[in-house]
Amino acid sequence: MVNLLFKKLITLGGIIILLLVAISMTTGIISERSRYQNEARNNIANSWTRSQQITGPFLVLPYLVKVETEIWDELNQKKSLKTELQQRELFVLPNTLEIGGDVQAELRSRGIYKLPVYTSKLKFSGEFERSVIEERKKSVTNAERWGGPYLAVMINDIRGIVSHPQLFWQEQKYAFKANNLGGDIPQNIQAALELSEAASYDFKFDLDLRGSENLSFTPIAANTTVALTSNWQHPSFNGMYLPANSTINAEGFNANWQLSSFSGNLEVPLQSCAIGQCRALSAHNFGVSLLEALNIYHLSERSTKYGILFISLTFIAFLVYEITKKQAIHPVQYLLVGLALAMFYLLLISLSEHLAFAYAYLSAASACTGLLAYYLIAVLKNTKAGVLFAAMLGLLYGLLYIILNSEETALLMGSGVLFLMLALLMGVTRHIDWYALESKTGELAVDGPAQ
């Protein structure tokens, strides 16, 4: 005897698979739109300036060393030694470094896509100790001749420098100029100096710098202090060191970092940087990222992961309704209801590109629940039942919105909702005699619509 209930379950399973394919296609659209967003953001960053990381300032003492290399003498058919002078750089870190700045952020658009950019006004001040400089020079035993010292500041994208910075060194004014040190972070500015016989050297300079998304620093001094204020309301503090204290409110944020030489040993990466390998030095960074309040593509993609939950719960509710009310619902009607549920995700992503995510979510959920209420009232021939199903879907959409906005507790809330739904289903169907659903002739007791 053919079990018609089993056949219907197989049919519904096939419909669910088809609907999941439709949702996966929507996920592909979300990924594609996200790629378009990244391309647009890269174009904005290329036109404005990219994320900025500032390493320095540090003192550079160039010197010449003799280098002997073996060369083959073709004329005499033997090896000979060639001696030449090569330039090296000795880097000296400041004893103290204080950075204060105001970061004014805004959104720049390219079509419908936006990127947070900023213009920062940074003030640098600090001190080098002459004893440290002399000690470092004594460590170089093969120097043939020392060159003129200069102060260098590495900047990821020097296009972001708004106005020409001026260095005040021991109250003497020096001009910065762009130059390349080579290595992993070639872009920098430097100012030629004259070192007096003073016990220490004070310096200060202002730097007006533009950038996008991220602003970070390298704690290059023995004692580094950074204080930032900004009008951006959604900062993310990142890097190897978090701020000692910070406040975030509707006006923006304030953050302060206080780091000492014990926070990280920069001597080894500094020596590597002296020969042009500065990647390890720049990895010791900290700073702030300017995040968008909501990433609509991330939230939309997360919402599609709950598609199987919505479709399965709706179909199970329909099946229970068929059994308890002895009213058949055709597989085509299941399919149409499932397509309406799958359409929600496409509506959500398309609306959220033009509206705030909350309004887009409300509009998409209202449209789908309204459509399903209109359709189910006619299909079930019962206004109360159609409205009840629509209300159930509205409740599910509300729970999904709460889960999407509670990323840290999303798993807990999602598993809790699943457990409650399972408990409700088991409670409603606990008295159903599943073996009795098939009549003696092999037909389901719910073989036709109620009259």
The residue written with tokens 């599910």 in the block is 396
Question: What is the token pair recorded at 61?
Answer: 């003492």
Confidence (pLDDT) at 438? 54
Which residues make beta-bridge pairs with 113? 110
Contact criterion met (CB below 8 Å) for 156 and 210: no
CA proximity to 26, closest of 294, 318, 306, 374: 306
Confidence (pLDDT) at 289? 93
Which residues make beta-bridge pairs with 180? 187
Confidence (pLDDT) at 313? 83
Confidence (pLDDT) at 191? 93
Confidence (pLDDT) at 181? 54
CA proximity to 222, closest of 150, 128, 99, 124: 128
- Rounded CA separation 366/260 (Å): 56
In one letter, which amino acid is 373? A
Contact criterion met (CB below 8 Å) for 168 and 204: yes
- Rounded CA separation 249/323 (Å): 55
Question: What is the token pair recorded at 168?
Answer: 């005040």
Per-residue pLDDT tens digits of the chain, which is 451 residues long: 346 777 888 888 899 899 989 888 988 888 888 888 888 888 888 889 999 999 889 998 999 988 877 777 776 677 777 778 888 888 888 999 999 999 999 998 888 888 899 999 999 999 999 999 999 888 888 888 898 999 999 898 899 999 999 999 998 999 999 876 555 556 889 999 988 888 999 999 999 999 999 999 988 888 999 999 999 998 999 988 999 999 999 899 999 999 887 666 676 777 676 666 777 777 788 999 987 766 788 888 888 888 888 888 888 888 888 877 778 888 899 999 999 999 999 999 999 888 888 899 999 999 999 999 999 998 888 898 889 888 888 888 988 888 887 766 767 777 777 788 778 777 777 777 766 655 443 444 444 443 3
Question: What is the token pair recorded at 389?
Answer: 């199903």
In one letter, which amino acid is 72? W
Question: β-strands 52-73, 150-155: how paired?
Answer: antiparallel
Tally of residues, the chain: 451
- Rounded CA separation 105/103 (Å): 6
pLDDT in tens, 152-202: 998 988 999 999 999 999 989 999 998 765 555 568 899 999 888 889 999
Which residues make beta-bridge pairs with 249? 252
Question: What is the token pair recorded at 77?
Answer: 């058919």
Confidence (pLDDT) at 440? 40
Q: Supply the pTM of this predicted model.
A: 0.73
Confidence (pLDDT) at 182? 52
Residues 6 or more apart whose CB falls under 8 angstroms from that of 312 comprise 16
Confidence (pLDDT) at 441? 38
Element (H, E) at 201: strand 200-212
233-246 CB burial, b ≥16 within 10 A, e <16: eebebebebebeee
Secondary structure E strands in 282-441: 286-290
Confidence (pLDDT) at 3? 65
159 φ, ψ (degrees, to nearest 5): -65, -20
- Rounded CA separation 408/394 (Å): 23
228: helix, strand or coil: strand
- Rounded CA separation 438/443 (Å): 6
Confidence (pLDDT) at 38? 84
Question: What is the token pair recorded at 329?
Answer: 């619902």
- Rounded CA separation 362/3 (Å): 42
- Rounded CA separation 165/155 (Å): 13
Confidence (pLDDT) at 392? 87
CA proximity to 91, closest of 256, 245, 221, 250: 221
